[in-house]
Structure 1
Amino acid sequence: MRAAEHRRELVTLAYPVYAELLSGVTAGIINMVWVARLGGHAVAAVAVATNVENLLLGVIFVAGSGTTVLVARARGAGDRAATHSAVRGGWALWAVITPVVAVGGYLCREPLARLLLGGGEGGSLRLATGYFAIALPGIAVLFATNVVDGILKGMGDTRTPMRLAAVANGSILVLDPLLILGCGLGVRGAAIATVLGRSAALACGLVVLHRGRASRRPAEAAECGIGSLGADARRTARTGLPMSADFVVRMAGALALVAVVARIGVDEVAAYGIATKAMYVATMAFYSVRQAAAIHTAHLLGAGHDQRRAVGRQALLLSGALGLSALLILLTAAPWIMRAFGSQGEVAEAGALYLRCLGPYLVLLACFIALGGVFEGSGASPALARVTLCGTTLQLALAYGLSGWGLPGICLAMASSMALQCAAVGRMYLRTGRMGRTERPPATGSEADRPWIPAAAASDETH
């Protein structure tokens, strides 16, 4: 494939993913708009619960991301048995992970709320516990939707997950005022609306899969000599675990950074929180390119074409351009962005300064995330997870040391750490022959765990 074809494919895959990710943020905003009418305690309860949900989403990435890569690779190879094996592995992991999180979360709902809200017996604790009582068992729906999305994306269909997210948000938009205010359910109504909206999206997704667009009939699967369910689950877990770890480490690092910023002052904490939400608009664009690069890389490897460098170059160009655009927008529009989020006074000033200093970090982050998609798609994500862990640890240490410089010091710590992470990943990318051994999901038993290295000629990368 030529460079323009790689770039076109990345854009085609990425823009629906971006719309889907933005849609997820929109759901949280919809809930907050209606819950805000119930007072500060209700807002605090839902905000805490949403953060927990985001962190738990990283757990199911083991199944969703692993399924995406394996299905894309099997699709490239034209291996129907491997496709079915990857799908089975994703659902098997969902069946193992979901009861632990859903049941365990429900049983621990009050201690969890107390821990996150700093103890006490206030209204926020009671409301958060009530929200968790519905949202944590309902996490099973979110986890299942993530697996459905993973299957569809692996088949190269990123538009259907975008539409499913729109179904969920549309349902929440209708149900929120009805349940929160109309039925007087308050915070519990917000949780019920969210679960029902996601359930509607999941039902639509399962219908798509049942129609055979991304799955196979049991009779056809039986003819292919599929391996054991346990082997399918282990293969998916091996593929998805590093990606899940990468996400969880970054989320945990972001939460820990709040404690470092708190050493500077209350206004800075508020500014950091608001600016971080604004930053999501840019970072989600980077992650959409990452998912597109992972899908495209896995598909090409499955077809026997090792074009990781070619895909990586185009992903870098695309994501880097997005990062530079974000830098310029933040430099010129930072004060207006803070005002759009309702901040005023010293909080708005601190947030504008933070956003203007954040540009170099965003450009570096864009490059790191883009190359990460190539590593994910080629089965070399364990190396990426190690770089992320070391980089996040370094970032926190630098932020603590530079916090005396205020929020610009925090930005300097973030950019310095990300520069080192980019250098490490760039070095591995330039040595693509040692990025890691990729596996093709085999069709039959004895080949189930045999390492596979693409046999395509190196000249493919020059096309």
Structure 2
Amino acid sequence: MGAASAAAEHRRRLVALAYPVYFELLSGVMAGIINMVWVARLGGEAVAAVAVAGNVENLLLGVILVAGSGTTVLVARARGAQDPAAMRAALRGGWALWAIVTPVVAIGGYECREPLARLVLGGTGGGPVPLAAGYFSIALPGIAVFFATNVVDGMLKGADDTRTPMRLALLANGLILALDPLLILGFGLGVRGAAISTVLGRTAALACGLAALRRNGVLRQAAGAAPSRKTSLRADLRRTAATGLPMSADFVARMTGSLALVAVVARIGVDQAAYGIATKAMYFATMAFYAVRQAAAIHTAHLLGAGRAQRRAIGGQALLLAGALGLSAALALLAAGPWVMRALGSGGEVAEAGALYLRCSGPYLVLLACFIALGGVFEGSGGSPTLARITLCGVVLQLAFAYGLSGAGLPGICSAMAISMALQCAAVVRMYARTERPKDTGHGSGRSKDPVRAPGGTAPVGRPAR
């Protein structure tokens, strides 16, 4: 009864943390979909440009996850240890990383906007390439706002507040919904108008997020705490980077693989717009998996000193939730694939190709859900570097399988994705079982040591944080 009660409490906590994260992430997806719906009135080239530009932005999200996710985990650990000085160090490290990463991406991306557009669209200068470059000319400088919002969200989530980031995302999305028709069609700005409305909506959300930071009692106490004598800004930055980099690498590798599949899909003659729209539709499911992952990471980090049994219980409940979500998504897309494509503004051959892709993606989605959810436990407990390596190898295998099976069309592409993800799941389950298996201390006491350590020299997971 005690174990069942503990499992139910973990599940309840994961759901409470995850559902606001899901709506926050979904709101970001919806911003891209809203943009595509309005630019669809400008033609297929405009849709392709905005769809692929949105994929690039998702890739760049992985870059700032170094600061955002790293800060979330470190703040959650400090909160669990009731250590305001450590929390203050985590906040400083997050902002320091933002200040370093943002100029490189914003300025470098703007200067390389045209080569970037040609790269992701596989063009030489015509078609949707100039449109994508125009979108990038606004969106990439505006990435500074997007990155700052991500860091603010990470701080709030680490302090156990996932609802405020959800509200901020909904605010940004509501403004985009109102501004898109005005700027895209009313002022005739086209795809540039979509980029402008996105940046303006996010700017308003960032202003509200900064105000929320000042109102948060936990973070306000940390900001006023005396700094530790053993730490410096450089040390805080390194600690945040060490914690967040594997999470960022994991996400960037998966998004890079998704972008690289565009070339394979184009090789078999499928319209890029169909692939782009179908990928957006799948985000409705995958964002739920990432929400469970974030919840598992926050919950695990907060209970860092609670020991192996607690971590196993969190992992089991995360798998249960994500597996149910993955199966539900697979069945929904199997039944409603054509309707989903039409709802997102496509028709004709584009809708048919996208619906086929969605219907074949079910096994991949179920496996992806389990892999992503279990990854949250590793992120919270310091095991994400190995997880990132598994993801990187899986993406390479996915592209190789996709190229080899591309002769079977879209079903072959989906089969390649499922095979690769099955191998990744097998690897992470083996890693999880080995990490969680009790080990003898070598002194015959029967007590076990916990081999997992948090990055940055913190205490072993099985010992109480000080």
**TM-score for both structures, normalised by structure 2:** 0.89
Residue 180 of structure 1 and its aligned partner are, at CA, apart by: 3.1
Give yes or no for contact 2:33–2:344 (8 Å, CA) kept in 1: no
Deviation at 1:406, TM superposition (A): 2.3
2:83 is the counterpart of 1:79 = yes
Q: 1-side partners of 2:381 and 2:189: how far apart?
A: 48
Task: Kindly provide the CA deviation profile for residues 286-338 of structure 1, in whole angstroms up to 9, marking residues without a partner as x.
Answer: 11111100100000105677621010000011111111212222333334333
Query: What corresponds to 2:57 in structure 1?
Result: 53
Asked if 1:376 corresponds to 2:373, the answer is no
Aligned in 2, Cα 1:32/1:237: closer, same or farther, shift over 3 Å?
A: same
The Cα offsets for residues 185-237 of structure 1, whole Å up to 9 and x where unpaired, read as 33333222211110100000000111243523688323654610000000000
Say which is worse superposed, 286-295 or 49-58, in terms of deviation.
Answer: 49-58
Deviates more, 1:75-84 or 1:167-176: 167-176
- 1:75–1:302 Cα contact (<8 Å) kept: no
Alignment of 1:262-411 (within 5 A): 262-266=266-270, 271-301=274-304, 307-411=310-414
CA contact (8 A) 2:120 2:259 kept: no
Deviation at 1:40, TM superposition (A): 4.4
For the 8 Å contact 1:439–1:452, the answer to whether it is kept is yes
2:175 matches 1:181: no
Q: 1:455 to 1:244 in 2, by over 3 A?
A: closer
Give the Cα separation in 2 of the matches to 1:202 and 1:84: 20
RMSD: 2.5
Q: Is the 8 A contact 1:316 1:371 kept in 2?
A: yes
- The one-letter code matched in structure 1 to 2:87 is T
Task: Report the residue type matching 1:453 in the other structure.
Answer: P
TM-superposed deviation, 1:183: 3.7
Query: What displacement does 1:345 show?
Result: 4.8
Q: Which residue of 1 aligns with 2:434?
A: 431
Checking the alignment, whether the CA contact within 8 Å between 1:17 and 1:158 is kept in structure 2 is yes
Q: Report what 1:453 is aligned to.
A: 460
Letter in structure 1 aligned against 2:452: R
User: Could you report, residue by residue, the CA deviation over 1:384-406 in whole angstroms, capped at 9, with x for unpaired residues?
Assistant: 00111111111111222222222
Q: Look up the match of 1:137.
A: 141
2: CA distance, partners of 1:343 / 1:188: 21
**2:311 is aligned with what amino acid?**
R
The runs of 5 or more residues in structure 1 that have no matched partner are: 441-448, 458-463
Aligned to 2:98: 94
Offset at 1:431?
2.3
Query: Residues 420-455 of structure 1, C-alpha deviation per residue, up to 9 Å, x if partnerless?
Result: 111111111112348963338xxxxxxxx5342134
Q: Aligned letter for 2:430?
A: R
SS in 2 for 1:222: coil
Three-state SS of the structure 2 residue aligned to 1:262 is helix
Instruction: Output the amino acid matched with 1:398.
Output: F
Query: Does residue 20 of structure 2 align to residue 16 of structure 1?
Result: yes
Contact in 2 for aligned 1:81/1:226 (Cα 8 Å): no
C-alpha separation in 2, matches of 1:49 and 1:337: 21
Equivalent in the alignment of 1:444: none
The structure-2 alpha-carbon separation of the partners of 1:374 and 1:218, relative to structure 1 and needing over 3 Å to count, comes to closer
CA contact (8 A) 1:65 1:240 kept: yes
Residue deviations 1:343-391, cap 9 Å, x none? 4455544444433332222111111111000011111000100111111
Tell me the CA shift for residue 172 of structure 1. Answer: 1.6
Q: In 2, distance between residues paired with 1:338 and 1:332?
A: 12
Distance of aligned partners of 1:332 and 1:31 in 2 relative to their CA distance in 1, 3 Å threshold: closer
Q: Distance in 1 between matches of 2:153 and 2:386?
A: 25
Given residue 323 of structure 2, which amino acid in structure 1 is its aligned partner?
G
Match of 1:194 among 179, 198, 223: 198
Which whole-Å CA distance do the structure 2 matches of 1:450 and 1:270 have between them?
A: 47
| Change beyond 3 A, Cα 1:41–1:177 | same
3-state DSSP class of the match of 2:217? coil
C-alpha distance 218-405 of structure 1, shift in aligned 2 (>3 A): closer
Choose the corresponding residue for 1:251, options 244, 249, 255.
255
How far is 1:126 from its partner? 4.2
After TM superposition, give the deviation of residue 100 of structure 1 in Å.
0.9
Conserved in 2, the CA contact under 8 Å of 1:77 and 1:304? Answer: no
Equivalent position of 2:440 in the other structure:
none
Deviation string 1:58-88 (CA, Å, 9 cap, x unpaired) is: 1101000100111111111111111111111
CA 1:121 to 1:7, structure 2 compared with 1: closer, same or farther past 3 Å? closer
Match of 2:219 among 200, 215, 221: 215
How much does 1:45 deviate? Answer: 3.6
Identical amino acids, percent of aligned pairs: 77
